[in-house]
Structure 1
Amino acid sequence: MLEDRVEILGVPFVCATMNEMVEIVHEHVKKEEKCFIVTANPEIVMKANQEKEYMEIIRHADYVTADGIGIVKAAQWLKKPLPERVAGYDMMIRFLELSNQHAYKVYLLGAKEEVLQEAVRRIRKQYPNVDLVGARNGYFQWEDSTIIDEIKEKQPDFIFVALGMGRQEKWIAEHMPHVQKGVFMGVGGSFDVLAGALKRAPEAWIRLHLEWLYRLLQQPSRAKRMMALPKFVLKVWREKVAKGK
C-alpha cells in the first residue's frame, strides 16, 4: 500500500502518479483484496468540509487521488506537492485496459439505462477480453439488496460506481464490507463520457487547466456547483496564510 499522503483541508491525498496507482491497485486485485478509491476534486473537498459524515467516509477510503488540477495547485501552495493529477476517468480507462489484458471481471453501477447500455456496448467492443459480469443503472431504492447480492455472487475484480458525488461514496462505504474482494471506485459522470453522451475536454483545454470550463459549457446546470471552486481557493489560501505565521 502507498503510505505517503498529502492532506488538503482535512482530505488525505495519496502521493502517487497514475502509473503507481495502477501498479498498486493491480497488486490488490492479484491478492484478491478489497480496495476503496475516491477520486476527489475541489468540489468533493468542500463537500467533505461541510459534511462530517462525508469527510469520515473519504478519510476511511484506501486511496484518495487528485482528480482536478485545483488539488495539485493547492498542494503546491501549501508546499506539499503531489506528483501529478490522477483523474478518475483516466484511471478507470487504465483499469479497463488492465482488465482487458488479464480478463478481469468488471461490474458497472450507475447512470441512466440508455447511457449504461451504450457504455456496456463500447466496453465490449474496445475491451473484448473484459469479463463484464453485471451492469445496473443508478435508479434504484437505496435499500435494494439485489445489487450487492449480485456483486457477492459474481465477485468482480473492479466495481465502478457512477452515482454522483457523495451518493456513490456513501453506497460504497455501506456495501463494500459485505464482499470479500474487489476494487470499488466512484467514477462520477465517467459512464456518460465513455458512452459518448458527454464529451471529454480536448487536450489543449486540459493542458491549459480549463477542463472544468469545457464541462461547464456543456452542462450550464453545473454553474451553482462550480461556486465551490473559488470557495476552495479562498479556504486553501487562508490555511496557507495561517500556517505561514
Structure 2
Amino acid sequence: MTTTPVPTYRLRGLDILGFGSQEEFLDELFADGRVKTGLMIAFNAEKVVVCDRDPALRRIAEQAAYTYADGISVVRSIRRKYADGLPRIAGIDLWQAMMSRAGRERIPVFLLGARAEVLTEVERRLKDEWGVDVVGGQDGYFDDDQRDAIFERIRRSGAAIVTVALGSPAQEIFMHECHQVYPGALYMGVGGTFDVVAGYVKRAPAGWRRANLEWLYRLLSRPARLRRSGRLVVYAFYHFTNRL
C-alpha cells in the first residue's frame, strides 16, 4: 500500500494518477499480497482527444480504477499545467513488469487479443521466461455474439489479471463489459503489446525511446497510423493554447 496519497491531475476533465515511478505503481497494484481489481487505462494524446468525441469511452475512463500517463505528450502537458515532474510510464514496460511479478507470485493471468499465432507465442514466452500461470487465452478475432461466452470463460478461469490487446477503444469497451460479469480481476488494455512481445512488430530502438520519440518511430514505421495523426494536431492545439 502506498504511504502517501497519489496525486491526481486533470486534462480535458479526465483524471490521471501521478505515480512517481513504475515501481511505485506496481507496488500499489500488488499491495497487501493480492492484486487490485478494476480497469487500468493508459492515456496518450490520441486517447484524450478520442474521449472528447466518444462519450462511451469517456464514461469508461471516468470509472476506471487506475489511469496513468503512457504518452509523452500527456506527461509534458501535466508538467506544463501543474509544474510537476511526472514520469512517463510506458504501457508495454508496465505490462512486462506486471507479468514478471505475476510469475514470481503465481498470479493467474488471462490473455485476450491479437492473432492466434501471436497469442500462442506470447503465452509461450510468458510461461518460459517468467513462469506465468496463464489460465486462458482468446485471440482478438471473434464475433459479437461470442462475447458473453468469452466473458464467462474469463470468469471461470479465475484470472486475477486480464490483459486485453484489441486497440482503443475496443479494448476499453471489452474490459468494461467483462468487468460487469467478472469484477474480481484487474483489467489492463495493452494495445499492440502482444505483437511486439511476440516479435511480429519491432519496438522503437532504445535511443528513440530515450529521446521520447517512440510515437514518431511508430508513425514512420507503420504509415497506416498517419491517418490518425490529425488527433495529434488537435492535442497539440489543446496543449499550446492552454485548453487542457
Give the TM bin, normalised by the shorter chain.
Answer: over 0.9
Alignment of 1:56-205 (within 5 A): 56-81=59-84, 83-128=86-131, 130-144=132-146, 145-205=148-208
Would the aligned equivalents of 1:6 and 1:13 in 2 still touch at CA under 8 Å? Answer: yes
Name the counterpart of 1:25.
29
Cα distance in structure 2, aligned partners of 1:136 and 1:32: 22
The alignment partner of 1:39 has SS state of strand
Deviation of residue 190 (structure 1)? 0.4
Cα distance in structure 1, aligned partners of 2:151 and 2:55: 26
User: In the comparison of the two structures, how many residue pairs are matched?
Assistant: 239
Cα distance in structure 2, aligned partners of 1:5 and 1:71: 13
Which amino acid in the other structure matches residue 140 of structure 1? F
TM-score by length of 1: 0.92
Deviation of residue 238 (structure 1)? 2.2
- Tell which deviates more after alignment, 74-83 or 40-49: 74-83
Alignment of 1:34-53 (within 5 A): 34-53=37-56
Cα distance in structure 2, aligned partners of 1:149 and 1:65: 28
TM-score by length of 2: 0.92
Deviation of residue 37 (structure 1)? 0.3
Cα distance in structure 2, aligned partners of 1:213 and 1:11: 25
Would the aligned equivalents of 2:29 and 2:35 in 1 still touch at CA under 8 Å? Answer: no
Deviation of residue 146 (structure 1)? 1.7
The alignment partner of 2:142 has SS state of coil
The alignment partner of 1:143 has SS state of helix
Deviation of residue 32 (structure 1)? 5.6
Deviation of residue 202 (structure 1)? 1.3
Q: Structure 1 stretches of 5 or more lacking a match? A: none
The alignment partner of 2:242 has SS state of helix
Would the aligned equivalents of 1:6 and 1:80 in 2 still touch at CA under 8 Å? Answer: no
- Tell which deviates more after alignment, 109-118 or 141-150: 141-150
- Tell which deviates more after alignment, 109-118 or 173-182: 173-182
Deviation of residue 122 (structure 1)? 1.6
For 1:15, which of 6, 13, 18 is the aligned residue? 18
Deviation of residue 79 (structure 1)? 2.4
Which amino acid in the other structure matches residue 119 of structure 2? L
Between the two proteins, what is the percent identity of the paired residues? 30
